[in-house]
Amino acid sequence: MTHCHCCGSAIDTSDWYPIVTAKDERGNVALYAFCDKQCRETWRAQTAD
């Protein structure tokens, strides 16, 4: 089961959902899934420098 990286809701992976790729502090590429665009934008705003 995939869960939203922002709010923790379960994501229905049979539908489209936003994914963001970002590098962690070690330079590894990580995938973050979100239940909708709103959560993606909220997470982006929180993680922006």
The binding site for Zn ion (CB under 5 A) comprises 4, 6-7, 9, 35, 39
Residue type, 34: F
Comparison of 28 and 46: residue with beta carbon closer to Zn ion? 46
Q: Minimum CB separation from Zn ion for residue 15, in Å?
A: 13
Least distance CB 28 / Zn ion (angstroms): 23
Nearer to Zn ion, 9 or 47 (CB): 9
Please list, in sequence order, all residues whose beta carbon lies within 8 angstroms of the beta carbon of residue 27, skipping any fewer than 6 positions away: none
**Residue indicated by tokens 């899934």:** 33
Q: Which residues pair with 3 in a beta bridge?
A: 10
